[in-house]
Chain A
């Protein structure tokens, strides 16, 4: 019996505008633990649609204080005047390994100089940066609240300008990631999480393309079913790659 470490690099707490979910931290944690998840990197959805993204971060901090498996993922908006204070707070919290940007929801692009300033500070703080390219498929968004994806190419270009900063691409589709595999591999610290990578043999093809060490398990719970996130890895890959994707890669990136 081989024990397996599952590190979920993208889970959320809170509710969503088009999908009512059981998003309180206790339920999210309980549901993920029931699927064997051993470490949960948790961010708050509560203020994604607000004017100040940072206000919801308290939810993730409180959840982490109440659970030994939750690591808070503060959301940072580099266009908010107080991002340096929010980042400093994140850096002081011993369980924070990752901060996240939501460029499309916050309304900026990655060529904004404020984004580069913030990225430099994230690196100096010794943290990794998650850039969420999608939370919800635009085809199912509310018609009065449409938010397009961030372009994968834009993220790659940004990562190339910050080669020492570990960047996790969040919510990308597998064909996009596969077609950009060479560019990802050309950078030493570019990763992608797997929560929205669907399709027969999708993960196997990405592993074949050399991305095994760059893929990180994520569930996108409670918006998505946790089991779905595990299925695409567990059912298709050999034991070594399964172990790496489900937890090994994330431990190597986030625990050092």
Chain B
């Protein structure tokens, strides 16, 4: 059979438009290489993203030591680092504010600082407490006040979740408690087909495609069950490879218009005005 050229092989990865990644961490958190400072983190991570065709990325730091139950001081340090990276990235990285439901009152103050002063564009929640925990309620209420999305980590692990690690059912509970909030549930492949069903009737939840292996048919299933406007592209880089994750969408059996929604439009529509790219829906 005829061999493709290297050039035509590269063409298979053309996303045919801009791509925004909903889920990126600094190399300082999880990277295979430890950057010298925030500027080097930007350079290495942005180069890797751009090689894959990612034109912009949501960034959140979970602190250089990635504690599962960070103190609010560690959250502040993490947010300052993400802000530094955003400042020297020429708009490539849009930072989310990382907070902890262990300290809800201080977290609300940190959200105010990050959004009012640092112009961050969303809130990140990880594994300190499950999404069913009332400690999240003041945080969710503040995200509604600022009209910014909340990205909540979720997974359904056969091997067992961490004590404070949310399942999709937990995220659905949070979404019902806060119907005005805009929630991005992380890790489509980690949530698996059962998890998709668990958030199906919570329209304020969309799911990002980050995390897990690039299994066939999962993005298509999410579109079928949730609708094309409730799926956003994410990588979980540097834990996962930008291009591998992008291939989940580019290789999916979906119309081009749906892929464009996933790669750009859907997340743009969920960002606050100061985070959106001009001309986006």
Instruction: List chain A positions with a Cβ less than 8 A from chain B.
Output: 1-6, 18-22, 33, 35-36, 38, 68-69, 137-143, 146, 175, 196, 198-202, 205, 221-228, 230-232, 234-236, 239, 242
Residues of B within 8 A of A202 (CB): 32, 241
Residue in B31, B52, B155, B214 whose beta carbon sits within 8 Å of that of A139 in the complex: B155
Chain B stretch 7-25: residues in CB contact (< 8 A) with chain A:
7-10, 12-13
Alpha-carbon distance A199/B12, docked complex (angstroms): 20
Chain B interface size, as a band, is: 35 or more
Residue in B3, B159, B214, B237 whose beta carbon sits within 8 Å of that of A228 in the complex: B214
Residue in A22, A205, A231 whose beta carbon sits within 8 Å of that of B243 in the complex: A231
Alpha-carbon distance A143/B6, docked complex (angstroms): 42
B234 within 8 A of A: no
Task: Find out whether the CB atom of A146 lies under 8 angstroms from the CB atom of B8.
Answer: no
Alpha-carbon distance A228/B189, docked complex (angstroms): 14
Task: Find out whether the CB atom of A231 lies under 8 angstroms from the CB atom of B217.
Answer: no
The smallest beta-carbon distance between B52 and chain A, in angstroms, is: 6
B171 within 8 A of A: no
Q: Name the residue of chain A whose CB is nearest to the CB of B189.
A: A140
B239 within 8 A of A: yes
7 additional A-B pairs beyond A205-B33, A234-B13, beta carbons within 8 Å, are A38-B3, A139-B190, A140-B157, A140-B212, A199-B240, A200-B32, A230-B12
Residue in A139, A223, A226, A232 whose beta carbon sits within 8 Å of that of B159 in the complex: A139
B213 within 8 A of A: yes
Task: Find out whether the CB atom of A36 lies under 8 angstroms from the CB atom of B213.
Answer: no
Residues of B within 8 A of A230 (CB): 9, 12, 247
Using known A-B contacts A139-B190, A225-B216, A227-B13, determine if residue A36 contacts B8 with beta carbons closer than 8 Å. Answer: yes
Task: Find out whether the CB atom of A227 lies under 8 angstroms from the CB atom of B45.
Answer: no
Residues of A within 8 A of B257 (CB): none
Task: Find out whether the CB atom of A200 lies under 8 angstroms from the CB atom of B158.
Answer: no
Residues of A within 8 A of B250 (CB): 227
Chain B stretch 94-153: residues in CB contact (< 8 A) with chain A:
none
B91 within 8 A of A: no
17 A–B contacts, CB within 8 A, in A order: A3-B4, A21-B217, A33-B1, A69-B1, A138-B158, A140-B189, A175-B32, A198-B213, A198-B241, A199-B238, A200-B240, A201-B238, A225-B216, A227-B250, A228-B251, A234-B13, A235-B13
Residues of A within 8 A of B214 (CB): 224-225, 228
Residues of B within 8 A of A223 (CB): 215-216
